[in-house]
Structure 1
Amino acid sequence: MITRLAAKSDIHTIILIQEMNLFDNLSRLEREQNGFVTTPFTIHQLKRLIADHGLFVVESDDQVHGYTAAANWEYFAQWPINPFMITRLVGTRFRGVIISEHNSFQYGPVCIDEHMRGTQAFPRLFEEMRLEMCPRFPVGITFINKANERSYRAHTRRLGMKVVDEFQYGGREYYSLAFDTAVSVLQ
């Protein structure tokens, strides 16, 4: 298993993984058991992430099995939930850093093929992203729909993320979580 920055040749597979795990494409039972992704990317958006070194993949046997994204707040402003979230977080202290739009970034979504969940794919993919973003930002931020218990457990238990806010947006409830980019999640 390897993790790396995504290439344009990975886009088709990333879109397939995304479609199989989008909230609207899953039954309630599937969402409860396996988690879900709520932020769909277009091909154009993925190409921009690749150009900005903000799209990462995990692969095994020359096949991509998962992806995650990370970028500055300007990039993620195209989804209205993100400006709402960062506005709430500006001025919040996390591990000695006062969060701002300039010293933090948005991480996520992350999606791993079902058969790779529970392996080292998730922490290794996260670590690949963390190492790329660490020189640019001391703090990473993500949000998780409170209905996505699997994702919440994975991020808090496996990666050690800390809840820094809870909010409602669009009729749904979310956690905002933060992490220190200087701290490895690998043991």
Structure 2
Amino acid sequence: MTTTVRRPDATDRPAILALMRRMRGTDLSAEERAREGFIQGRMDDEMLAGMQAGTGVFVAEVDGDLTGFAVTFTPDMAVSGPPQRLIETLDEQPQQSRIRRFLYGPAGVDPRFRGHGILRALLGAIGREFVGRFDQGVLFVEEANEKSLAVHRHYGMHTIGDFTFRDRSYVVMSFDPAAAAELA
């Protein structure tokens, strides 16, 4: 099994969006969603294209099949919803004010390929690309998403805050791109 990570082009967007939809977990109970993990929010082709044009999207393939993705974007692209609330939360912390940061997420791995180093490869590629450009990667995870919290903590991401948006609680996490670069 050979895993490769690359930047997708426009022809990859339908496969990325399909994987995002499958990973929303809307057919699962709350307990199953917590245990299996889920992707929240909705992204369409236009939004994904905008992310690709910014700091970018990364995809992982195993033997030519798209098996995972990770979206990154800059704080100025966080104009509504939980991403905007994340930026507001960071701006409330004086020690966070001068940090060059990018936002990470959503990210996901096809359940058939979990446990095979796909997310590790994606994070390594992101880290290698962003070392020197950014001081910190930042993400938010809904507290109910136990799987995502555990996985990201496993990869060395640590909690730096929290916020609530529309009665849902979120954990704010960060990571050093240089540490991520060493994962792959």
Is contact 2:101–2:134 with CA below 8 Å preserved after alignment?
A: yes
What is the aligned counterpart of 1:35 among 37, 57, 69? 37
What is the aligned counterpart of 1:129 among 117, 126, 130? 126
Q: Give deviations 1:155-182, integer Å, cap 9, x for gaps.
A: 001x100100022111111100011112
Q: Which residue of 1 aligns with 2:153?
A: 156
**Structure 2 residue ranges without an equivalent (≥5):** none
Alpha-carbon distance in 2 for matches of 1:72, 1:123: 22
Is contact 1:131–1:181 with CA below 8 Å preserved after alignment?
A: yes
Q: Give deviations 1:136-173, integer Å, cap 9, x for gaps.
A: 2111100000000000000001x100100022111111
What is the aligned counterpart of 1:61 among 44, 60, 63? 63
Is contact 2:60–2:69 with CA below 8 Å preserved after alignment?
A: yes
Q: Give deviations 1:66-100, integer Å, cap 9, x for gaps.
A: 111011011122x322222222212647xxxx423
Q: Secondary structure at the match of 1:6?
A: coil
What is the TM-score with the length of structure 1 in the denominator? 0.88
Q: How does 1:53-92 map to 2 (within 5 A)?
A: 53-77=55-79, 79-90=80-91, 92=93
What is the TM-score with the length of structure 2 in the denominator? 0.89
Is contact 2:109–2:119 with CA below 8 Å preserved after alignment?
A: yes
Q: How does 1:98-113 map to 2 (within 5 A)?
A: 98-100=95-97, 103-113=100-110
Number of corresponding residues? 181
Structure 1 ranges of 4+ moved more than 6 A: none
Identical counterparts, % of pairs: 26
